[in-house]
Amino acid sequence: MTRRWLGVATLALGLLGSQAGHLLAYQVRYGAAAQQLQSSGAHAYFPFLAKTALGVGACALIGGLLLVGLARLLTGRRVRSASEPSYLSLLAILFSIQLAAFVVQEVGEALIGGLSTGTAVDLLLWGTLGQLPIAAVAALALRWLCARIEAAVGAIRALAGPSPPARPPAAAAILVPAAPGGAPQTFLVAASSLTWRGPPSYLRIRTH
């Protein structure tokens, strides 16, 4: 996977994972009251957003697994790239994206609802508790898929690509001496016609 597509995938996964981290953070902080808090007031939009994010993430994961499975089925061997992104790098990037999204989301909800945003320590603490476990799992899944999707796409393209054109048969030059006083004649004989299955009359000979 190129750096560009890896960056896009990491950003998208970080934004999607932030909603799962948001759910986890509220569950840890408020317990049984978390669901009611996240579906009322300024948080009324959250259930739909969370379901959509989780659904998109699940579809992307299933699509990647199907692609890898198809490549393995067609090639008959395990599909894996020789290079893999660093797990720690993916974890750091995903966690940073998710934590930033969580803080922005919390501050925005507080401003819309006219509530207190809490201290920066509270936001970082609960954001870390909710986002770090999700980022760890997401980084592991992304690293696993990146190591295989690139190889799977290459294998499928190689199988679906056009076959090389057939090479024309080589020609052999035969020098035949002419009658006394005449110039020798050269004959081009197609290599494919040089076979022992028929008499010489079957040879395709062109006179030059």
pLDDT for res 18: 92
Given this model, what pLDDT does residue 115 score? 75
- What 3-state DSSP class applies to 199? coil
Please tell me the distance from the alpha carbon of residue 87 to that of residue 66, in angstroms, as a whole number: 23
The answer to whether 130 touches 22, Cβ cutoff 8 Å, is yes
For residue 43, what are the contacts with CB-CB under 8 A and spacing of at least 6?
Answer: 37, 109
Give the model confidence (pLDDT) of 108-167 as tens digits. Answer: 888 887 777 778 888 899 999 999 999 999 999 888 888 777 777 777 777 776 555 556
pLDDT of res. 155: 73
Nearest to 147 by CA among 97, 73, 90: 90
Across the chain, which has 208 residues, the per-10-residue mean pLDDT values are 78 91 89 80 81 86 83 73 81 95 90 79 91 94 81 72 58 54 53 49 46
Q: What is the pLDDT of residue 185?
A: 56
Q: Distance between CA 168 and CA 170 in Å, rounded?
A: 6
> What letter would DSSP give residue 104?
H
Q: Is 76 left (phi over 0), alpha (psi -120 to 50) or beta?
A: left
Task: Write down the pLDDT at residue 71.
Answer: 77
Q: Write the Ramachandran bin of 41: left for phi over 0, alpha for psi from -120 to 50, otherwise beta.
A: left
Residue 81 CA to residue 6 CA, distance in Å, equals 14
Is 171:190 a contact under the CB 8 Å cutoff? yes
Q: Where are the domains of the chain?
A: 3-160, 171-207
Q: Which residues contact 85 (CB under 8 A, 6 or more apart)?
A: 6, 142, 143, 146
Contact call for residues 191 and 172 (beta carbons, < 8 A): yes
| Tokens representing residue 172 in the block | 């052999």
What pLDDT, on the 0 to 100 scale, is given for residue 50? 83
| Residue 60: other Cβ atoms inside 10 A | 16
Per the document, the length of the chain is 208
The helix-helix angle for 46-75 and 3-30 (nearest 10°) equals: 130
Q: In this structure, what token pair is assigned to residue 20? A: 């799962």
Please name the residues in contact with 71: beta carbons below 8 A apart, sequence gap of 6 or more: 79, 151, 152, 153, 155, 156
What per-residue confidence (pLDDT) applies to 206? 47
